[in-house]
Amino acid sequence: MLRIWVLAATWLVATIAIGLSAGLAVGRPWLGLCLALSLHLAWQLTRLYRLDHWLRHRGFMDPPVLRGVWDDVVTQIARIHRRKRHHKQRLATVLRELRESTNAMPDGVVALNAHGEIAWFNRMAAQLLHLQGRRDIGIRISNLVRQPAFARHLEGGDGTAPLTLQVSAQPETWLSLHVLPYGEGRRLLLIRDVTRQTRLETMRKDFVANASHELRSPLTVISGYLEMLATDPTLDAAHAQPLAEMRRQADRMAAIIGDLLVLSRLEAKDEQPEGEPVDVGAMLALLRKDVLARPQHPALVTLAIETQDQLKGDELELNSALANLVDNAAKYTPADGHIGIRWWSDAEGAHCSVTDTGPGIPSSAIPRLTERFYRVDAGRSRATGGSGLGLAIVKHVLQRHGGRLEIASTEGRGSTFTCHFPPERVLAAERRA
């Protein structure tokens, strides 16, 4: 096909030629030219008018037959339009499929823009958070999900840990909300219904707490009678040995139950304890004395207090955590061994480490060490009379104080347990003064 403008120019030249020659024939060339051009222009204008009318009113349906160059223009326009419509349809299909697939997702998804306003959400999110169709697009999510905990989570939103909360509209439903940052300031909110898990978890916690509590009273009775029997002078000497063993086991059982109760109490309180300043240095000094007061203790117990900083936290909990670490070290270190306790602080926060020269822990066991009742080898903890819950308690206490436990160990040479506390928990000595 020739270019449209070439065609149009040819038509124009032809018109001029016809007009001129017709004019020359009657002896009035200019009049002929004028007439021919006027006719040409009038014809073109009517075409233009019809094209304009078609573009405006017919919505690209049934293109008009305009003849000449105008037909080419119409074909071009129609083709461009067809191509565009095709693209649009393809995009719409992709979009629809995307929407349908996100609607099929079992989790709720809400996309938030930089202002925390709802940009888009899927069907599950609407169901879980009671969002209403298009109406809620553009509303700040915190205006609709008004729980104070959620607002704090959204603001502090580095999107690390999901938040579990109850939605007011359905009091029996527990949702887990997870904020994930993406793009520039945008965030994605993932919502999952965790009612079942939460209920099971509550049942488990309640069961452990209740069972330990119920076991304690009968055990107290048994221990009481055992103690009475052990001091009874009329009793046959042959029974002394088994009685002593029974008492030992009863004590151990009491220790396990006590630790279970401590753990379930730690789990029940999910908020971090508010900061009462605790003098960790003094606490460690006392713990060291306790170790030295034992009938059998390692020869060398050193204490290095390198900072006067205090820690904001719950004194009882911190004490039980540190006591567990020191106690473990004392149990596993032979009489000629060495225990080193250190308390220091730096830019990353405060730290407390307990190093021993005990048998060490195989590296494969380290990740599982804080599990309840986990034993490195079956004989070890029973021989030393531990409850198997000590390190679980340490882990929980540290979590509640925003800290973490680091374990390093070489088999045959000893282990180091380090507690790291974040800087916001540290109360510097100079600020205290």
Residues contributing to the site for another protein (CB under 8 A): 115, 130, 132, 135-136, 138-140, 142-144, 146-148, 150-151, 166, 168-169, 171
Tell me, rounded to whole angstroms, the distance of Cα 418 from its chain centroid: 25
Nearer to another protein, 184 or 271 (CB): 271
Question: Considering the complex, what minimum distance in angstroms separates the CB of residue 187 from another protein?
Answer: 16
Q: Is 319 exposed, middle or buried (0-12, 13-18, 19+ CB in 10 A)?
A: middle
CA 188 to each of CA 110, 114, 177, 390: distance values in angstroms, whole numbers, following the listed order = 6, 11, 10, 39
> How far apart, in whole angstroms, are the C-alpha atoms of residue 333 and residue 352?
19
Question: Considering the complex, what minimum distance in angstroms separates the CB of residue 270 from another protein?
Answer: 12
Nearer to another protein, 56 or 134 (CB): 134
Which helix (H) or strand (E) segment is 148 a member of?
helix 148-155
Nearer to another protein, 140 or 297 (CB): 140
Half-sphere exposure of 114 (CA within 13 A, CB side): 3
Listing DSSP states for 63-113 in one string gives -----HHHHHHHHHHHHHHHHHHHHHHHHHHHHHHHHHHHHT-SSEEEEE-
Q: Which of 258, 271, 381 is nearest to 320 (CA)?
A: 258
Tell me, rounded to whole angstroms, the distance of Cα 201 from its chain centroid: 19
Question: Considering the complex, what minimum distance in angstroms separates the CB of residue 412 from another protein?
Answer: 49
Nearer to another protein, 146 or 294 (CB): 146
Nearer to another protein, 58 or 115 (CB): 115
Question: Considering the complex, what minimum distance in angstroms separates the CB of residue 155 from another protein?
Answer: 11
Question: Considering the complex, what minimum distance in angstroms separates the CB of residue 196 from another protein?
Answer: 21
> How far apart, in whole angstroms, are the C-alpha atoms of residue 290 and residue 284?
10
Do 247 and 231 form a contact (C-beta atoms < 8 A)? no
Nearer to another protein, 121 or 332 (CB): 121
Nearer to another protein, 103 or 170 (CB): 170
Nearer to another protein, 165 or 194 (CB): 165
Question: Considering the complex, what minimum distance in angstroms separates the CB of residue 102 from another protein?
Answer: 23
Those residues whose C-beta lies under 8 Å from the C-beta of residue 356, and which sit 6 or more positions away, are 298, 328, 329, 332, 333, 337, 338, 339, 340, 414, 415, 416
Question: Considering the complex, what minimum distance in angstroms separates the CB of residue 61 from another protein?
Answer: 32
Half-sphere exposure of 298 (CA within 13 A, CB side): 22
> How far apart, in whole angstroms, are the C-alpha atoms of residue 85 and residue 79?
10
Q: Which of 222, 199, 217 is nearest to 261 (CA)?
A: 217
Question: Considering the complex, what minimum distance in angstroms separates the CB of residue 172 from another protein?
Answer: 11
Nearer to another protein, 77 or 151 (CB): 151
> How far apart, in whole angstroms, are the C-alpha atoms of residue 376 and residue 361?
7
Q: Which of 329, 209, 201, 222 is nearest to 259 (CA)?
A: 209
Question: Considering the complex, what minimum distance in angstroms separates the CB of residue 143 from another protein?
Answer: 4
Q: SS3 for 34?
A: helix
Question: Considering the complex, what minimum distance in angstroms separates the CB of residue 392 from another protein?
Answer: 25
Nearer to another protein, 35 or 151 (CB): 151
Do 386 and 253 form a contact (C-beta atoms < 8 A)? no
